[in-house]
Structure 1
Amino acid sequence: MSEFATNGPVASKFVFLKDVATLPPNTKVRLLGCIVDHDTAEGQIILEHAYPKNAKPIPHVLVDIDLVLESIEPSILSTGSWINVIGYTRPTQRGVRKSKARLRQPADESSFLQAVLVWTAGALKITDYEITLEEQRSAQKNLISKSK
């Protein structure tokens, strides 16, 4: 066993919402998104984040919140609320129960996340978040290229 091995959980990868569809299934991620639709009876929400600003269509992800629904304050799930989510990417939404209610299904079925933790983003400047995450990604790329 390596001296750096731990018995703790795998760290999440901080990503933009638009990146979820490109990640392999079962990747643990953390992201920020705005609730555009929700169906608490089915335990599902749809998040969007218009980044980059000119992205068409606006990136979105269907999030299954069933595992954390009992621990979430109902006010957090309001349409227009920005939330943080830690969860696992899933292959597609196929096989996931379809909402019997009004939940608007995303146009593509490739962005699906199983949430394990959800909390409010609070007061936040989205532009600052986007800049900081881009800087973090750039720094990670530099570290990887230097280690090769």
Structure 2
Amino acid sequence: MSLVIAAKLIHIASAILFIGCIYFRNFILPRARLALDGAQFEAMESALSPRTRLMGKINNTLLLFSGLFLAYTYFDPTNVLLHVKMTLGLIVIAMFFGAPLIMHRFVGEKKRKIKTIYHHVMFALMVCIVMLSQTMFAL
């Protein structure tokens, strides 16, 4: 198997995992919040967060490096969609790795609202990235 094929497989697998995690955060966890009382939900979220954050760091590092390798491999200065996709991808990765620097400043309900907005923005950017990835070489 060539290095390019391996990078593509790593990139798509890690992208699927990352998008799935953000989907879970946006659309599944809010339902759990309704089913559990506040203390139970906070305990569940506290139990999940360190492990998912560590998995996310490893996964998103693989996503970043495989994406950079593929960008280098397929770089075309005239492909505007590729440039937009790369920019959005770097924004999403920066949002992920920058979240702890931002979120620790907030507490309580305000923190929950900001986390919700943050995750919805990340999900929307990811959907845009997937759409760009499916169209950028077809045009």
TM-score, normalised to structure 2, is: 0.31
Select the structure with the greater relative contact order (CA < 8 A; seq sep ≥ 6): 2
TM-score, normalised to structure 1, is: 0.30
- Please identify the structure whose Cα radius of gyration is greater: 2
Bigger share in strand: 1
Bigger share in helix: 2
